[in-house]
Homo-oligomer: A and B are copies of this chain.
Amino acid sequence: MRPDAPERGFPKVEFETRTRNAQMLMARQDLAGLLLMTEPEVRYFSGFQTLFWQSPTRPWFLFVPAEGKPVAVIPEIGAALMRSTWVKDIRTWSAPNPADDGVSLLIDLLSPLAGKGARLGILKGHETSLRMPLGDWERLTTALPGLEIADATGLVHALRRVKSPAEISKLSHICAIGSSTFSRVPEIVSEGQPLDDVFRAFKREALALGADDVPYLVGSADLGGYIDVISPPSSRPLQAGDVLMLDTGSTWDGYFCDFDRNWAIGHADDPSRRAYDVLWRATEAGIEAAVPGNSCRDLFEAMRSVIAEMDTSGGDIGRLGHGLGMQLTEQPSHAAFDGTVLEDDMVLTLEPSLGYGDGLIMVHEENIVVRQGGAELLTERAAPEMPVI
């Protein structure tokens, strides 16, 4: 464990502030409540943190009213953990219960709102999903015809994308652990090592250096460069002339880092070194452009104009970075379509990529926090030239 680890969890005032800020925005949109059912949103307003969401069996609900504290409607198996949070109104059922997995509890909770023809906010926009059976959602809304359903995606994303000092300290900590792990790669990785062993060695090192988990590790290695950035590892041994890329989403206290590094095994060819250089400078341009008042589109254009030295296709990744926090990827997107204006304390990835050679791709990534005086790096900046192992 690193000695400089921040406090785990949050003081109660953090949740009070988040809830109050949500309620101010809800008032503007005339929302009588928010019904949340996805892990980051439930955790954001309650502090309820568990890996148990990996089981698809049970739905979990948190209701944020227009005034007062959130109400949890959850399976009984989560009651003990929810009681340890600031949420005190906890309504449970013995789940799973296919005949009624929380639906009648939700009807009881929301009936008074429906009776007044009130508006209920849910997340139904970009980057959201409905984490309950669609059939149950239809039963719920059919039972409450007076309820007007409104999309609160923008409201919740606007809150979540600006991080508090306590959130930034967690993100900074896991980015530091990620940087330490990447710095150890030349010692734990060598020519001849199968790529899946490289992955295992990296994960074990990240855990040893203090990561809670390494839920996300992707990467590739191939002669002269790689063609894919989302595959599981093969067992092909690393060879001289390979470009190796590792991209990790490791976590500490429920917050993610998300960045990658590239290395040459033995030696690098000119196209790969040039791609590396272009992406390194594209990242520099991104760092410079990441100031309050600029938009995500500006960030995108700053990086894209450097990438265009080598690749004008626009790439197939769809964006050049994104928000970062309780999720590996969060809003906003550094893309031409996203006009979100950067604000102090947004935590972002800068993730320029380009295509080169015969279908090769290269990706760079750093994590930053937007500050008035200029972006602050949370990751230890990648070497300006491709390092050789």
Give CA–CA (A214, B250) in the complex, Å: 13
A127 CA / B97 CA spacing, docked (Å):
10
Q: Does A55 contact B (CB under 8 A)?
A: yes
Contact A51 B134 (CB under 8 A): no
Q: Is A130 at the interface (CB under 8 A from chain B)?
A: yes
Interface residue? A88 (CB, 8 A): no
Taking a contact as CB atoms under 8 Å apart, the answer to whether B228 and A57 are in contact is no
| Complex alpha-carbon distance, A52 and B137, angstroms | 27
Cross-chain contact A130 with B126 (CB below 8 angstroms): no
CB distance from A201 to the nearest CB of B (A): 9
A76 partner, pick from B128, B151, B316, beta carbons under 8 A: B316
Residue of B nearest to A359 (CB): B80
Is A221's beta carbon under 8 Å from chain B?
no
- B135 contacts A77, C-beta separation under 8 Å: no
Q: Is the CB of B96 within 8 A of A318?
A: yes
A307 vs B15: C-alpha distance when bound (angstroms)? 40
Which residues of chain B are near A227, meaning CB under 8 Å?
80
A215 touches B (CB below 8 Å): yes
Please give, as numbers and ranges, the residues of chain B lying within 8 Å of A314 by CB-CB distance: 94
Give the total of A residues in contact with B, Cβ under 8 Å.
Answer: 81
| A51 to B228 Cα, complex, angstroms | 13
Q: Does A212 lie within 8 Å of B229, measured CB to CB?
A: no
CB distance from A131 to the nearest CB of B (A): 5
* In the bound complex, CA of A217 to CA of B251 (Å): 14
Chain B residues lying within 8 Å of A92, measured Cβ to Cβ, are: 316
Known: A127-B57, A249-B54. A81 touches B231 (CB 8 A): yes
A50 near B: Cβ within 8 Å?
Answer: yes
Distance (Å) between the CB of A43 and the closest chain B CB? Answer: 11
Cα of A231 to Cα of B318 in the assembled complex, Å:
36
Q: What separation, in Å, do the CA atoms of A373 and B206 have in the docked complex?
A: 45
| Majority DSSP secondary structure for residues of A touching B | loop
Tell me whether A203 is interfacial, beta carbon within 8 Å.
yes
Nearest CB on B from A260, distance (A): 13
CB distance from A47 to the nearest CB of B (A): 12
A232 in the interface (beta carbon within 8 A):
yes
| In the complex, chain B residues whose CB is within 8 Å of the CB of A213 | 203, 214-215
As for how many copies of this chain the complex holds, the number is 2
Tell which of B78, B153, B215 touches A215, judged by Cβ atoms closer than 8 Å.
B215
CB-nearest residue of chain B to A56: B127
- Per-position 1/0 for A26-66, Cβ under 8 A of B: 00000000000000000000000111101111100000000
Minimum CB distance partner of A135 in chain B: B124
Partner of A129, one of B122, B125, B130, B318: B130
Question: Which B residues are in CB contact (< 8 Å) with A81?
Answer: 228, 230-231
The smallest C-beta distance from A147 to any residue of chain B, in angstroms, reads: 15
Nearest opposing residue in chain B for A93, CB measure:
B318
Chain A 289-331 interface residues, beta-carbon cutoff 8 Å to B? 314, 316-319, 322, 327-329
Q: Give every chain B residue within 8 A of A127 (Cβ-Cβ).
A: 56-57, 96, 133
A1 touches B98 (CB 8 A): no
- Quick one: given A1-B197, A55-B328, are A50 and B231 in contact (CB under 8 Å)? yes
The 4 A-B residue pairs with the shortest CB-CB distance in the complex, in nearest-first order: A124-B134, A76-B316, A130-B130, A98-B126
Contacts from A to B (Cβ < 8 Å) = 1, 8, 49-52, 54-58, 75-81, 84, 92, 94-99, 101, 122, 124-135, 137-138, 151, 153, 194, 196-197, 199-200, 203-204, 207-208, 212-218, 227-232, 235, 249, 314, 316-319, 322, 327-329, 333, 335, 337, 359
| 17 A-B contacts (beta carbon < 8 Å) | A1-B194, A54-B249, A54-B328, A55-B328, A56-B127, A58-B318, A80-B359, A92-B316, A97-B337, A98-B125, A124-B138, A126-B133, A129-B131, A129-B133, A204-B208, A212-B232, A213-B215
